[in-house]
Amino acid sequence: MLPPTRHRRGARPALLASAAAVAGLLLAGLPATVSHAADQDSCRPDGLYRTPGVAVPYCSVYDEAGREKMGPDHQRRVIGYFTGRRTGKDGTPAYLASDIPWDKVTHINYAFAHVDAGNRISVGADGPSNAATGMTWPGVPGAEMDPSLPYKGHFNLLTKFKKQHPDVKTLISVGGWAETGGYFDADGTRVGSGGFYSMATNADGSVNQSGIDTFADSAVDFIRTYGFNGVDIDYEYPTTMKDAGNPLDRQISNGRRAGLVKGYAALMKTLREKLDRAGAADGRHYLLTVAAPSSGYLLRGMETFQVQKYLDYVDIMSYDLHGAWNEYVGPNASLFDDGKDAELAAAGVYSTSQYGGIGYLNTDWAYHYFRGSMPAGRINIGLPYYTRGFKNVTGGTDGLWGKAPSTDCPAGSGLTKCGDGATGIDNLWHDLDDNGREAPAGSNPMWHAKNLEKGIVGDYVTAYGFPADTQLTGTYARKYDSTLVAPWLWNAQKKVFLSTEDEQSVNTKADYVVDRGIGGAMIWELAGDYGWNAAKGQYEPGTTLTTALYEKFKTASPYGARRATTELPSEALDIAVDFGQFPLGDSNYPISPKLKITNNTEVTLPGGTEFQFDYGTSAPGNAKDQSGWGTTVIRSDHTGSNVGGLEGDYHRVSLKLPAWQSLAPGASVELDFVYYLPVSTPSNWTVTFGGKTYALTGDLARGTTPADPGTATPTPDPTQPPGGTCTAPEWSATTEYGGGSTVSHNSRTWKAKWWTKGEEPGTTGEWGVWQDLGAC
CATH number reported for the structural domain that contains residue 160 in this entry: 3.20.20.80
Under 8 Å between Cβ of 641 and 358: yes
Last residue in a domain, options 712, 732, 755:
712
What is the tens place of the pLDDT at every residue in 257-288?
999 999 999 999 999 999 999 999 999 999 99
Does position 1 have pLDDT exceeding 60, yes or no?
no
Does position 741 have pLDDT exceeding 60, yes or no?
yes
441 part of a folded domain: no
CA 38 remoteness from chain centre: 32
Same-domain status, 586 and 687: yes
pTM of the model: 0.89
Same-domain status, 372 and 312: yes
610-616 and 530-533 beta bridge pairing: unpaired
Least confident of 21-25, 156-160, 418-422, 669-673: 21-25
487 part of a folded domain: no
Phi, psi of 545 (to 5 degrees): -75, -40
What is the tens place of the pLDDT at every residue in 62-73?
999 999 999 999
Domain count, the chain: 3
Least Cα distance to 302 among 247, 244, 346, 378 occurs for: 244
401 part of a folded domain: no
Same-domain status, 93 and 167: yes
Same-domain status, 101 and 223: yes
Same-domain status, 663 and 750: no
CATH number reported for the structural domain that contains residue 692 in this entry: 2.60.40.290
Element at 654 (helix H, strand E): strand 650-656
Same-domain status, 269 and 375: yes
Angle between helices 363-371 and 503-515 (to 10 degrees): 20
pLDDT band at 356 (very low <50, low <70, confident <90, very high): very high
Over range 746-770, report the average pLDDT. Answer: 81
Does position 696 have pLDDT exceeding 90, yes or no?
yes
Last residue in a domain, options 492, 526, 560:
526
pLDDT of amino acid 363: 98
Same-domain status, 654 and 764: no
Under 8 Å between Cβ of 740 and 759: no
497 part of a folded domain: no
468 part of a folded domain: no
What is the tens place of the pLDDT at every residue in 528-556?
999 999 999 999 999 999 999 999 999 99
pLDDT of amino acid 727: 84
Least Cα distance to 633 among 682, 574, 680, 590 occurs for: 682
pLDDT of amino acid 4: 33
Same-domain status, 707 and 770: no
Spatial distance between the Cα atoms of 84 and 81, rounded to a whole number of angstroms: 10
How far, CA to CA in Å, does 602 sit from each of 485, 574, 689, 693? Answer: 53, 9, 14, 16
pLDDT of amino acid 470: 96
What is the tens place of the pLDDT at every residue in 71-93?
999 999 999 999 999 999 999 99
Same-domain status, 653 and 731: no
Same-domain status, 289 and 368: yes
DSSP 207: B
Chain mean pLDDT for the chain:
92
Over range 646-657, report the average pLDDT. Answer: 97
Last residue in a domain, options 493, 526, 559:
526
181 part of a folded domain: yes
427 part of a folded domain: no
pLDDT of amino acid 716: 47
Does position 28 have pLDDT exceeding 70, yes or no?
no
Least confident of 338-342, 643-647, 757-761: 757-761
- What percent of the chain has a predicted confidence (pLDDT) above 90? 84
Over range 365-394, report the average pLDDT. Answer: 98
pLDDT band at 709 (very low <50, low <70, confident <90, very high): low
309 part of a folded domain: yes
Over range 576-605, report the average pLDDT. Answer: 96
CATH number reported for the structural domain that contains residue 772 in this entry: 2.10.10.20
pLDDT of amino acid 714: 53
Same-domain status, 240 and 285: yes
Number of H helices and E strands in the chain, helices first, is: 11, 35
Measured from the Cβ of residue 277, the count of other Cβ atoms closer than 10 Å reads 16
What is the tens place of the pLDDT at every residue in 470-528?
999 999 999 999 999 999 999 999 999 999 999 999 999 999 999 999 999 999 999 99
Angle value at C-alpha 232, between 231 and 238, nearest 5 degrees? 125
pLDDT of amino acid 210: 98
Under 8 Å between Cβ of 309 and 246: no
Domain ranges, residue 220: 1-36+71-321+362-385+506-526
Element at 154 (helix H, strand E): helix 153-164
Same-domain status, 15 and 94: yes
